[in-house]
Amino acid sequence: MTAPASERPRAARAGRRAGGREARKALRAAPLAEDVRPVRGGLEGGRFRPLDDAGMQRIHESALQVLAEIGLADAPPSGIEVMTTAGAELGDDGRLRFSPSLVEDSLALANRSVTLCAQDPTFDIQPGGKRVYYGTAGAAVHLVDVEQRLYRESTLQDIYDAARIAQTLDNIHFFQRPMVARDLTDPTDLDLNTVYACVQGTTKHIGTSFTSVARAQQAIEMLHLFAGGEAAWRARPFVSNTNCFVVPPLKFATESCEIMEACIRGGMPVLLLSAGQAGATAPAAIAGAVTQAVAECLAGLVYVNAIQPGHPAIFGTWPFVSDLRTGAMSGGSGEQALLTAACAQMAQFYDLPGGSAAGMADAKLPDAQSGYEKGITDVMAGLAGLNMVYESVGMHGSLLGFCFESLIIDNDMIGQCLRCVRGIEVTEDSVSIEAMRQVCLEGPGHYLGHSQTLGLMQSEYVYPKLGDRSSPKEWDENGRPDLLVRATAEKERILGEVFPDHVPEAIDTAVRAAFDIKLPKENMSA
């Protein structure tokens, strides 16, 4: 007869528990097929809807009224020509106005099946519907040094290193340049070397911006070399142009529009980015900020489709929030979360691939404030079904600082956000009547070793890679591990070991011969 558990030797009981725990750890560590992973890019959100149907219709009608009655100023001559040819009207005040019928015609031409290609097709993404992807973005001018607790100017090496880290993180689905290389003062060096560092650092889809038409054209020539020729590039453009084509409120950004035209003609997808700041360059009313952003992006859609009908474009309603006490940006606020979620809904209203920003912590360091600001804004964006969640990881100081440790920590957080996005599947099996019957009537009275539990450990549950879930006693026995210390160690491991080599040496040699590349080759290998 088996002795009661309380009478068995303690070591034997502990060993049994440990053995079960180790088996579960081993099961969790085993690689999963993509189709059974609990979270992945492209999960469908849309369960959170801050706008009701009447609200979305009202914003749409108001945006049409803004475009017809107020219009946009400062379009370049080339833009005026293509948009007036399409049906826009140029007023005596220099503003272009767009009739509702012109906007509707442009919406009919818009590409709704965009694929944002990657150098590795495994990482291709299909924004649209309510599919959710998280990634980096921004133009931070500082790197956050958590060990010294200071901000230093960001460099080209930092951009390459950020790309390398992002390449290793499962929940980061695309890499848009998150920092500016402040060590490059020449604009041509800046634009071309930024593209180079991103392409060499990651095989995921890349986004970047340019400072002139000539530099955009040079960058596209560089990308032809990386792709293996112009035809190969046009078939699979793996870099997109983040284009701030408007200067809110309701003005075209003349030079950016010219750059956008060059990128469209060069076969590069574009992000139509309207980034007003509520209470400053956009109305303080949250609905008004959304309306202005929608109007501006609809004008951008007319522009794009007047040049090339069906060109891949992301509807980038991207309004920010002001702290109205100071006028400073407040990227980690609840209002920002609402704005971003509402923008997701408006992209869905038009059935367009949409992108906006979340995760833009006001906190200066990866601390508790950073955690709640990023968690709230990122999960609400995902639950709203935002296709492209930009700036979702690594950002601090209201977009002024980027942090490697946060990039790694936030990868854990995005895993939890995606699990919320996925929701709960209710099926005959998942309601678990048979499992309850077996456990309660036939089995041990718990589910720990049940076949359903073991079968769902990896497909139903997400486990943090750095986050600590041990008991206080285990935590103490393990040396009281600190999340930030662990993130720093993981950063150092990645930067010391991970050197992507997807670009053949011959192509790299050709690129370096054609362009003045500033990133030393010795910094690109162990």
What is the domain-level CATH number for residue 344? 3.20.20.480
Q: Report pLDDT digits (tens) over 130-150.
A: 999 999 999 999 999 999 999
Question: Is pLDDT above 80 for 27?
Answer: no
**487 pLDDT higher than 90:** yes
Domain presence at residue 145 = yes
Q: What is the 3-state secondary structure (H, E, C) of 60-96?
A: HHHHHHHHHHCCEECCCHHHHHHHHHHCCEECCCCCE
Residue-level pLDDT at 39: 86
Average pLDDT over residues 65-78: 98
DSSP 391: T
How far apart are the two ends of the chain, measured CA to CA in Å? Answer: 61
Asked whether the bond before 249 is cis by omega within 30 degrees of 0, the reply is: yes
Average of per-residue pLDDT across 473-488:
96
pLDDT at 14 over 50: no
In a domain? residue 3: no
Condensed to tens digits (0 to 9), the pLDDT of residues 412-450 reads: 999 999 999 999 999 999 999 999 999 999 989 999 999
Q: Considering the domain boundaries, does residue 163 fall inside one?
A: yes
- Asked if residue 7 has pLDDT above 70, the reply is no
Structural domain contains residue 481 = no
Band of residue 26 on the pLDDT scale cut at 50, 70, 90:
low
Q: Coil, helix or strand for 456?
A: helix
- DSSP annotation string for 156-179: HHHHHHHHHHHHT-TT--EEE--B
Residue 526: the pLDDT is 83
Mean pLDDT for 502-513 is 98
Name every residue whose Cβ is closer than 8 Å to that of residue 209 and which is 6 or more positions away in sequence: 139, 177, 241, 242, 243, 244
Give per-residue pLDDT as tens, 31-49: 667 767 888 899 999 999 9
* Tokens found for residue 403: 């942090």
What confidence tens digit (pLDDT) does each residue in 447-475 have? 999 999 999 988 999 999 999 999 999 99
C-alpha to C-alpha distance for 470 and 351, rounded to whole angstroms: 44
Q: Tell me if 137 is assigned to some domain.
A: yes
**Do the domain assignments include residue 66?**
no
Res 263: pLDDT: 98
The strand pairing partners of 97, in sequence order, are 89
452 by Cβ neighbours in 10 Å (0-12 / 13-18 / 19+) ranks as middle
pLDDT(30) > 70: no
Q: Domain of 372?
A: 107-422
Task: Express as a percent the part of the chain with pLDDT over 90.
Answer: 90
Lowest mean pLDDT among 73-87, 210-224, 236-250, 314-328: 314-328
| Better-scored residue on pLDDT, 344 or 13 | 344
Q: One-letter amino acid identity for 8?
A: R
Q: What is the pTM of this model?
A: 0.93
Considering the domain boundaries, does residue 229 fall inside one? yes
Of the candidates 255, 265, 252, the one whose C-alpha atom is nearest the C-alpha of residue 311 is 265
- CA nearest 41: which of 104, 129, 156, 124? 124
Q: Name the pLDDT band for 2 (thresholds 50, 70, 90).
A: very low
If phi > 0 it is left, if psi is from -120 to 50 it is alpha, else beta; for residue 285 that is: beta
> Which residues have CB under 8 Å from 101's CB, separation 6+?
87
The DSSP call for residue 478 is T
- If phi > 0 it is left, if psi is from -120 to 50 it is alpha, else beta; for residue 328 that is beta
CA distance 289 to 286: 5
- Measured at the alpha carbon of residue 117, what is the angle toward residues 343 and 466, in degrees to the nearest 5? 70
Distance separating alpha carbons of residues 278 and 290, to the nearest angstrom: 9
**pLDDT value at 10 more than 70:** no
Cα 87 from Cα 456, distance rounded (Å): 57
CA–CA separation, 252 and 323 (whole Å): 26
Asked if the model's pLDDT at residue 11 lies above 80, the reply is no
Looking at residue 40, its pLDDT comes to 87
Calculate mean pLDDT across residues 246-272: 98
Q: How far apart are CA 356 and CA 294, in angstroms?
A: 12
Distance CA 386, CA 378 (A): 10
Residue 239 lies in a domain: yes
